[in-house]
Chain A
Amino acid sequence: MSLPDLTALWLTARLAFVTTLVLLVFGTPLAWWLAQTRSRFKPAIEAIIALPLVLPPTVLGFYLLIAMSPNAPFGEFWMAATGDTLSFSFTGLVIGSVIYSFPFMIQPLQSAFEGPVQQAMRTAASLRASRLDAFFSVALPMSVRGFVTATVLSFAHTLGEFGVVLMVGGNIPDRTRVASIEIYENVETLNYGDAHALSLILLIISFITLFCVFLFNKRFPAHVRL
């Protein structure tokens, strides 16, 4: 296999890793809030989070591209703060991917945190555990399955992303040219050999990842529904 393929694959892995990490950090508190809130804004927020499931990635990518342009307030702020444009950069890709994979992190976590875990939080409080103590000693261990599912789905979904990345990042080697775009590029240039190799690698990685989740869910005692 030729060298450019591996560059794209490595970039894809980096993107998926960083995206998943960002999603874990921001998604956990948001999913926790959603699982226990009685706010009347909850349905609206849930709908916004679920949007990437139904919107064409190009629509999302289009809006992000506009927001990240140096002429838009957000893009301008970024330019002033970092001296670099957000669009067509790795950071831009991460932002796009985070938004695109948001429901894949939030929904499994939210359902893991609901019902039994909320009741267990009360039980923990009745046993003198503070909220923070109870979160780490009860809610987290009871939600292991939810965390594994959310992390793997977010990671795998980011691996497979195409539309948003293409709109926001374009096709710059080693910067924004991820595996899915590399495959597209190879097909366009009738380089079917490389397209085959890269497609097969993605297929195998995705299958193994999902297989591990299902295997884990089967083996691990089911404290929570998914």
Chain B
Amino acid sequence: MSGSELTLSAEIALDDFTLTVDEHVSLNGVTAVFGPSGSGKTSLLNLVAGFLRPDRGEISFGDEIWAKTEPKAWVPPHRRPVGTVFQDAQLFPHLSVRGNLDYADKRADKTAPGHARTKIIDAMALSPLLNRTVQTLSGGERQRVAIARTLLTRPRLLLLDEPLSALDGARKAELLPFLETLKTEFALPTLYVSHDVDEVSRIADRVMMLEAGRVIATGRTDDVLSRFGLEAGRNPYEQAAFLSGVIDQEAARDGLIAVRIGEATIWPAANVDLASGARVSLKIPARDVSIALEEPTGISIQNMLSASVVAIEPTKRPAFQTVTLSVGDQTILATVTRKAVTDLALAPGRAVFALIKSATFHH
């Protein structure tokens, strides 16, 4: 069945470990390469794109051998029909949006099957942006240009390297529909690198789970995620907590919905059509929670809850700590720097204010 498979049978020594894969990935739909930061996901993508050479083994696309050590074979990155969308878009700063698209268009292999330029521009809603300089684009707009630019090269395989990870909650929500359009309208075989369960469960058909350079599971998305007890909204690599509250339509304003949490109110920027009194669950990512000792004034963050520190724990990253806060009879988590914990003299029992930058409805 090599005609419709991507063969990844390779080994490469990285800084911390050796990445070893022996997989045949179906060239049909979206395969998520899923795992924590530093598990080798991006290196795996670089092997496929040709930015890394395997120490041993073979990378093949159907019958085409792209990299092989015995006997030696090598196709340089620019000759591989692969389109890579990088984490931070990587638009060329010296070219306009149109210039970036032209760059790819000019170099595309016009004999390969592809989509019309106008269709690609429409699908990514780029018409109004064409004459802009790339410096004036938002993070989400950059990624849309990057995706369109890649599509213009007429790739036969798409590599998406955490395309949402540089975006905040609201921008992520903006870009996700475009990724779904990409999947349905262009139907290219795709490797999608991510460490986010929500994204993976929304976009991927299959999951290849990596840990410390090894594939620990592959299979249908639902199967793999449930086997590891992962479900959307419960992200093992991103800490979050859930607050339950009650919808208050009276207090809703400026397009925001009001959710009463005890005495306090949170305004999530989300579209739900619920009557007053409905009980809802809000997901609060730990990295979107800041801590203040006094109630701040003159600040753009609208969601403020008085809370008290319950516990302070280390995270995987030495510079950061997770602070557990009690809010009424519920708890939320805040990821703050170790320095902030020291400077604010945070300790269990201390009364503080939790500033919440984003809250999303969790079903």
Interface residues of A (CB under 8 A from B): 119-120, 122-131, 133-134, 137-138, 141-142, 221, 223
Chain A residues whose C-beta falls within 8 Å of the C-beta of B90 in the assembled complex:
119-120, 123
Task: Contact check, B93 vs A123: say whether CB atoms are below 8 A apart.
Answer: no
The answer for the CA separation of A125 and B92 in the assembled complex, in Å, is 13
Interface residues of B (CB under 8 A from A): 49-51, 76-79, 82-84, 86, 90, 92-94, 103-104, 107-109, 135, 149-150, 153
Which secondary structure dominates where chain B touches chain A? mixed
The answer for the CA separation of A133 and B77 in the assembled complex, in Å, is 13
Task: Contact check, B78 vs A130: say whether CB atoms are below 8 A apart.
Answer: yes
Given contacts A128-B108, A128-B153, A221-B135, whether A123 and B92 have CB atoms under 8 Å apart is: yes
Task: Contact check, A127 vs B109: say whether CB atoms are below 8 A apart.
Answer: no
- Please count the residue pairs between chain A and chain B whose beta carbons lie under 8 angstroms apart in the complex: 59
Chain A residue at minimum C-beta to C-beta distance from B86 = A123
**Chain B proximity of A144: nearest CB distance (Å):** 8
Chain A residue at minimum C-beta to C-beta distance from B155 = A126
**Chain B proximity of A38: nearest CB distance (Å):** 12
Task: Contact check, B82 vs A137: say whether CB atoms are below 8 A apart.
Answer: no
Task: Contact check, B107 vs A122: say whether CB atoms are below 8 A apart.
Answer: no
Chain B residue at minimum C-beta to C-beta distance from A138 = B92
Given contacts A128-B107, A130-B78, whether A223 and B94 have CB atoms under 8 Å apart is: yes
**Chain A proximity of B319: nearest CB distance (Å):** 23
Chain B residues whose C-beta falls within 8 Å of the C-beta of A133 in the assembled complex:
107
Given contacts A137-B103, A221-B135, whether A126 and B150 have CB atoms under 8 Å apart is: yes
Chain B residues whose C-beta falls within 8 Å of the C-beta of A127 in the assembled complex:
78, 103-104, 107, 149-150, 153
The answer for the CA separation of A141 and B90 in the assembled complex, in Å, is 15
Task: Contact check, B77 vs A126: say whether CB atoms are below 8 A apart.
Answer: yes
Nearest first, the 5 A-B pairs at minimum CB distance are A128-B107, A125-B77, A126-B84, A123-B90, A141-B94
Given contacts A127-B103, A128-B108, A221-B135, whether A122 and B77 have CB atoms under 8 Å apart is: yes
The answer for the CA separation of A142 and B95 in the assembled complex, in Å, is 10
Chain A residues whose C-beta falls within 8 Å of the C-beta of B49 in the assembled complex:
126
The answer for the CA separation of A54 and B84 in the assembled complex, in Å, is 45
Task: Contact check, B92 vs A221: say whether CB atoms are below 8 A apart.
Answer: no
B109 contact from A126, A128, A131, Cβ within 8 A: A128
**Chain A proximity of B84: nearest CB distance (Å):** 4
Given contacts A126-B82, A127-B107, A127-B153, whether A223 and B93 have CB atoms under 8 Å apart is: yes
Chain B residues whose C-beta falls within 8 Å of the C-beta of A126 in the assembled complex:
49, 77-78, 82-84, 150, 153
Chain B residues whose C-beta falls within 8 Å of the C-beta of A138 in the assembled complex:
92, 94
Most buried by B among A124, A141, A223: A124
The answer for the CA separation of A33 and B237 in the assembled complex, in Å, is 39
Task: Contact check, A129 vs B82: say whether CB atoms are below 8 A apart.
Answer: no
